[in-house]
Structure 1
């Protein structure tokens, strides 16, 4: 059972954090840790980001931090968020709030001093946990501790209302379900997500892409993605979802685990999309994916069918990561381990023969040199990148053939 006491963790011992907390002492029981740092520490998971809640107004927070020699960055002043930068670490500090109005994309807030009121505007019960830094006491206003115990991801209050406040919470729900949902799925949450999916069209494509990438980057998102498919969550923003997305994603995740391969986000994306380069490029453009991701997706679809015999050629043409993903996505079960073995600890070689070497062998300078170099590289790759002596043999054969053809002409 999850204890209502925050365990000691290394992140709590940072001198800079202690300094920030001391500067923000108030008469309302704060400051307190909030959200992910509390949740993950209770679960024994590593903590990367530490968020702090306070009843102090943002201007007071800034004044106190600066007076104490701590850099204060107004990262979200209108919403009460200040980032304290100390000892190379960032701590996000947010004033207690209550929603005044929402439109499904953003909220207008008013600052508050009531901790329960602040908790009530958060998305899930497991994210609305606070902890007192001095005592470790955990404050749970909506049953988050019980939900952590039971592996239940549940909206605070009415799920439909929470989603109407910010439709991105639909995607966040399925991401948190993939990460923490080891128990029964909350039927009300799923129904509310399905009913509100149309609202995803109101969100910026960058927000959708970021949340989708976070979901697909989790260890095993298959169950969540399956629920999303079954409840029409993808339909408003991803019509290019392939008809067997569940099977392909499940197959990829299984292969990652079976062959001890690292997770690849481009491969995860491609596992749920149609295998049409034009359609996938439209997805990348619509979701405003980075140029690098767009290139990665295109390369993996244009590399060709992988086999033990050509997998190194694919790696040479693109890179090892592309070749590995192509094998993980498209190689048959018998060929996959052979492809992976061929890539293991393999560095793409360099052909040492240059144009000048061909000229020294008797080839006249001109366009024929570039053409012969291309033929040489193709033969070298086809022979699986032989060593220098064989490169020279191949080059001499091509030069002699070119000279013979020139004489006959």
Structure 2
């Protein structure tokens, strides 16, 4: 019996019917493919929508243009264009076969053979096609059975698939964490271990992209543990060890206890050695953004002893204080969820107010203002009347010291 794609909201997006008509879906020229089919079968929300077609990409552009649909030639050299319907992108890719590969990029040729296109994909669960009109699913390699068994399996030879694109090593563990049961296919795991050094040939940006996607899944620690145990990351991230995996696992549980969403950057902080300089070196190697590197530096810097959550949030920002608390096993996570609405208070006076009280302009003004602010924080951010009293006391103290 032919499997059918369940109905889903994304299949009724505004403009979808017109797009499918334009590229000949009623005539069998186009099918949904990959993640949209896979995730719909699992009852998961669909983010990215991909369509495969026998049409040449230039023909796709012509047809969409004639239908008044915006189209962008995002990857036309590889057969991919992006249609935009109601503000949402839909990637449309011509059926392809690999002519040659070097582990980083492939030379492709177009084909009209659906099975040939499926055979060049990575995992069986990603090689599922669905007829947009009937919902009938075409499954050449047992992807539906693998979905039901929570098995992530390469199409054909795992070794050959990895040789075509070394990044598939990282993708395998990401998919294992999201769709598998953390019990790797023996052939796949052996192939990933054998080819681990080939990750060195990839750009650090591609490695970082896959690593951060893996860290963002609900439970990344088991898959990360398999990678560390198999020395799969040693060539590119030698600092990551099983102690880091244990910290990651603990952090994931603490995020859940606090009722907060997981953060890939925060989880990288747990996975890395607990030294801000070493963690920053890892982030720099992965070419993470300056914002991510600053967040890592704040999260792993030595914390002031005895600081309250309010003080930490004031000095570090709410994100930094939250990261530090979640990464510290001694910190109580219970108040964190309610604390996410906290607004940073503003000190009600500035240096001018101290000068108006008689403090001579100069370096003493900044020092005195810091003392007022420190006391204000220590007292739990009291109202302006108390701040005024603190300012009077501090100015008097400095004036006496000058006499």
Question: Does TM, scored on the shorter chain, surpass 0.5?
Answer: yes
CA contact (8 A) 1:154 1:186 kept: yes
Normalization by structure 1: what TM-score? 0.94
CA RMSD of aligned residues (A): 1.9
| Conservation of the 8 A alpha-carbon contact between 1:303 and 1:326 | no
Q: Aligned to 1:244, what secondary structure does the other structure show?
A: helix
Corresponding position of 2:285: 286
TM alignment of 1:9-408, pairs within 5 A: 9-25=8-24, 29-182=28-181, 184-302=183-301, 304=303, 307=306, 309-332=307-330, 335-337=331-333, 340=336, 343=339, 345-407=341-403
Quickly say closer, same or farther: Cα 1:341–1:127, change in 2 above 3 A. Answer: closer
TM-superposed CA distance for 1:19, in Å, is: 1.1
Structure 1 segments (4+ residues) deviating >6 Å: none
Alignment CA distance shift 1:28-1:112 (3 Å): farther
- Offset, 1:135: 0.5
**CA–CA distance in 2 between the matches of 1:341 and 1:219?**
18
Distance 1:128 1:382 in 2: 60
Please state how far the C-alpha of 1:31 moved relative to its aligned partner: 0.5
Q: TM-score, normalised by structure 2?
A: 0.95
How many Å apart are 1:376 and its aligned residue? 1.4
Q: Judge conservation of contact 2:25–2:31 (CA < 8 Å) in 1.
A: no
Aligned length: 403
The answer to whether the 8 A contact 2:200-2:236 is kept is yes
Shift of 1:266: 2.1
What runs of 5+ residues in structure 1 fail to find an aligned partner? none
CA distance in 1, matches of 2:102, 2:62: 32
Pairwise CA distance, 1:345: 3.7
Separation in 1, partners of 2:17, 2:381: 58
Name the SS for the 2:333 alignment partner: helix
The CA distance in 2 between the partners of 1:147 and 1:69, in whole Å, is: 40
Q: What is the SS of the residue equivalent to 1:101?
A: strand
Deviations 1:145-175 (A, max 9, x none): 1001100000000000000100100111101
Write out per-residue CA displacement over residues 57-93 of structure 1, whole angstroms, 9 at most, x where no aligned residue. 1111111111221122111112111111222111100
Counterpart CA distance in 2 for 1:341 and 1:27 is 50
Secondary structure of the structure 1 residue equivalent to 2:156? coil
